[in-house]
Chains A and B, each alone.
Chain A
Amino acid sequence: MIGFLVRRLLTTVLVLIGVSILVFLIMQLVPGDPVRTMLGQAATAERVTEVRHQLGLDRPLIVQYLDWALGVPRGDLGQSLTLSQPVSSILFPKLGNTMILAGGSLLICLVIGVPLGMVAARRQYTVVDRGSMFVALGGASVPVYWAGLVIINIFALKLGWFPTSGMHDTRNPGGFEDVLVHLVLPSIAAAVVPTAVVARMARGSMVEALHADHVQMLRASGVPERLVIWKHTLRNILPPVVNIVGLQAGYLLGGVIFVEVVFNWPGLGGQLYTSITAGDMPMIQAGVLFIALVFVVVNLVTDIAVALLDPRTRKEA
């Protein structure tokens, strides 16, 4: 167990370094001269060289990378070009907002996806099973930005049950309830695909678990069906389900940009979008890195949780 943890942590550190290198390299793909773009066509050659030197862009790539990368653990991600603020001071508050959105979506995903998959497995091959899995396949194919717009149209505009955008009421920003009301529609939109994926996956695991040998032994010992299902098979499918839910957290972190844009939710994704539109390279670089780092950490936590949940990973004679 300890050996596994140590190895996993080491791999994670290596991956994090690799991720930072990759992000840095991607940023170098920008066509044209970023300094010239920033200063405009009218700038003189001397001015361009001057600014490039000021920004440290004339140093060798490795030096630039190390300078940037070593600042990351310190929390220094550079300076935003458009907002004249340190990147970290902009990103950290937004991280919390994205976490709230992702949390809401994951909750929906768990509460609907897992039971749905379990029920479908119990009634394998019946209408309930085929129907719900068809719906799940549809759900997994949904373009999240379209889902968001449709949801806004129906529930916010036509029915007026929920606000159309934002995280707080602009006129009187309230507390918990205000955020909750604003959270409903975006988290539903973001949850559609993950819920569908989890439902399909839970069904598969459940079918396998229901046909496991030990289930026959349990029944032969007179264990009532509800205990077989809710005590034993549920526990059996916990590792793969946690695994897939963890993966969905990753999907959410990637797709969250669409939801945050459509719903004007002030999170990391929304910020990334603004930075992209503004061409603020340091912000884009940091934003992408940030989201990737969170993703890596989430995967690490998931892997550890899955290992802890499965007694077979423990040796002990």
Chain B
Amino acid sequence: MTNEPLLKVTGLRTHFSSEHGTVKAVDGVDFQIERGGILGVVGESGSGKSVTGLSILRLLGSRNATIAGGQILFHGEDLLTKSDREMREIRGKQISMVFQNAMTALDPFFRVGDQLVEVIRLHQRVGKREAKLKALEAMELVRIPEASRRLSSYPHQLSGGQRQRVMIALALSCGPDLLIADEPTTALDATVQKQIIDLLAEVNRELGTAILMITHDFGVVARLCRTVAVMYQGKIVESGDVATVLEKPEDPYTQKLLGSVLRLRSEVRRVSA
């Protein structure tokens, strides 16, 4: 039983209907993540990587998006067959997601601590005081300085990097098995990017949380991930071990992507070391 992957996606197809016809954003995608594993899904804009992440949690917003087929097995159960209520219990509790928009991802009208407590009390049967303690724990986990003071801050009083940490704290507050990170560092400064990536690596080490890292940046993949899948126009063109794919890419698209990335050699050396 422990050999079963935590998340196994087979034949996932997600379509958008528009006035120009049906757009096949995700067109038959297979991948899996082990318990505590870190998979990077790499691609350029429009490759379908973000839609893949949203499809797993079924966060697409029903108006013109439909999951047209496939299977998403989480702990052996198909997420695509679950009811709305069951999905709500999974979101934030067993599978969490963080997004790119750190600056705007938190409700500006509520204090940071209150937002954490809200999610904690939603998924766990705890009183207010205990929830506050857990919130503080989550803040300290993501290494926010002066965590207890920051709990009563409003989002606009925090920097971009701090807000991203809070988002991660929110995502981890109920101890999920899987964290989906959709371009969490793209909107941040270079130094802050590095800190966040290192934080994610530490979370994976200490808590065993599996990570699905969606990014366009091979550098992030090299630094953080163990396995990688390269997406192009809704399909996975290459996947495997990070070291292998980076060293000897087989698919021409992967080769093209890698070719345009600088400073990769040193990262590859670091990963395979």
Q: Do A and B bind each other?
A: yes
The listed residue (A212, A222, A236, A317) touching B91 by CB distance below 8 A is: A222
Minimum distance in angstroms from B215 CB to a CB of chain A: 18
- Size bracket, chain B contacts: 20 to 34
Is the beta-carbon distance between B108 and A213 smaller than 8 angstroms?
Answer: no
Contact A224 B88 (CB under 8 A): yes
| A47 beta carbon closer than 8 Å to chain B | no
A206 nearest CB across to chain B (Å): 14
B255 within 8 A of A: no
Minimal Cβ-Cβ distance residue in A for B107: A214
Decide if A221 touches B171 in the complex (CB within 8 Å): yes
Q: How far is the CA of A144 from the CA of B105 in the complex (A)?
A: 44
**Of the residues A213, A218, A219, A317, contact of B101 by C-beta under 8 Å:** A213
Interface positions, chain B 48-91, Cβ under 8 Å from A, are 57, 59, 87-91
Instruction: State which of A216, A220, A238, A314 has its C-beta within 8 Å of the C-beta of B96.
Output: A220
Residues of B within 8 A of A238 (CB): 109
Flag if A223 contacts B122 (CB, 8 Å): yes
Best-surrounded residue of A222, A235, A315 (most CB of chain B within 10 A): A222
Quick check: is B234 within 8 A (CB to CB) of the other chain? Answer: no
In the assembled complex, the CB of A89 is this many whole angstroms from the nearest CB of chain B, namely: 46
- Given contacts A213-B104, A214-B104, is CB(A221)–CB(B92) below 8 Å? yes
Q: Is B226 an interface residue (CB 8 A)?
A: no
Is B41 on the interface with A (CB-CB < 8 A)? no
Given contacts A221-B92, A236-B107, A236-B109, contact A317 B157 (CB under 8 A): yes
Which among A217, A315, A317 is the interface contact of B105 at CB below 8 angstroms?
A: A217
Chain A residues whose C-beta falls within 8 Å of the C-beta of B108 in the assembled complex: 214, 236, 311-312
List 12 extra interface pairs beyond A217-B106, A220-B92, CB under 8 A: A213-B101, A213-B104, A221-B171, A222-B93, A223-B119, A223-B122, A232-B109, A235-B107, A236-B107, A238-B109, A311-B109, A312-B108
A-B contact pairs, 23 of them (CB 8 A): A212-B104, A216-B105, A218-B107, A219-B91, A220-B91, A220-B92, A221-B171, A222-B87, A222-B90, A222-B92, A222-B93, A223-B122, A224-B88, A227-B118, A232-B109, A232-B110, A235-B110, A236-B108, A311-B108, A312-B154, A314-B154, A316-B157, A317-B157
